[in-house]
Amino acid sequence: MIEQTFVAIKPDGVKRKLIGKIISRFEDLDFTLKHAKLMNVSRELAKEHYVEHKDKAFFSDLVAFITSGEIFAMVWEGENAIEITRKIIGSTNCIKADAGTIRGDFGNELQKNIIHASDSLESAKREIKLFFE
Ligand code: CMP
């Protein structure tokens, strides 16, 4: 099934100039970039985006991190884009992420984990709307 998914290169990935390398991985999969923008995330948008984590102990750190610098927000389209994107970004914790995945190859931490991608069709629809409408 052709799907669209929301992907964001986080402030650590932007600062480390990883945008080009990360885009290549999606293009290698023959995915199509539908929307993209470099942007600052307001505290309001960060809280809404991460609402499912609002009761977690790390919530305030999460909001502080995602608002700490520019992110590169994108919408990618392709066959089974949501599941494949989750696979190529790797486990949330970069320390556990497999080599060959984006987090496994570029990250060293749990919170500063380079990239975010929608985890389901519902999240993708919600996040695309939140960042691009
Ligand atoms: P992301 O895929 O953007 O979704 C939620 C984010 O919360 C996750 O990536 C990590 O950056 C962060 N995160 C998840 N678990 C923890 C944790 N235990 N401590 C700190 N940050 C976390």
List of domains in the chain: 2-132 (3.30.70.141)
Atom of ligand 1 nearest to the CA of 89: 2
DSSP single-letter state for residue 92? S
Share of the chain above pLDDT 70, in %: 100
Task: State mean pLDDT over 72-79.
Answer: 98
User: Rounded to two decimals, what is the model's pTM?
Assistant: 0.97
Q: Is the Cβ atom of 58 under 6 angstroms away from ligand 1?
A: yes
Q: Determine whether 116 is an active site residue.
A: yes
Token pair 């949501």 in the structure block, residue: 82
Q: pLDDT tens across 7-44, in order?
A: 999 999 999 999 999 999 999 999 999 999 999 999 99
Q: Give the span between the Cα atoms of 75 and 14, in whole angstroms.
A: 17
Distance from the CA of 58 to the center of ligand 1, in angstroms? Answer: 8
- Residue 48 and residue 130 in contact, taking contact as beta carbons nearer than 8 Å: yes
- Residue 13 and residue 72 in contact, taking contact as beta carbons nearer than 8 Å: yes
Residue 106: predicted pLDDT: 98
Q: Give the span between the Cα atoms of 5 and 29, in whole angstroms.
A: 14
Cα 13 to Cα 2, 54, 99, distances in angstroms: 27, 24, 17
Q: Is the Cβ atom of 103 under 6 angstroms away from ligand 1?
A: no
Helix axes 81-89, 19-28, angle to 10 degrees: 130
Distance from the CA of 133 to the center of ligand 1, in angstroms? Answer: 25
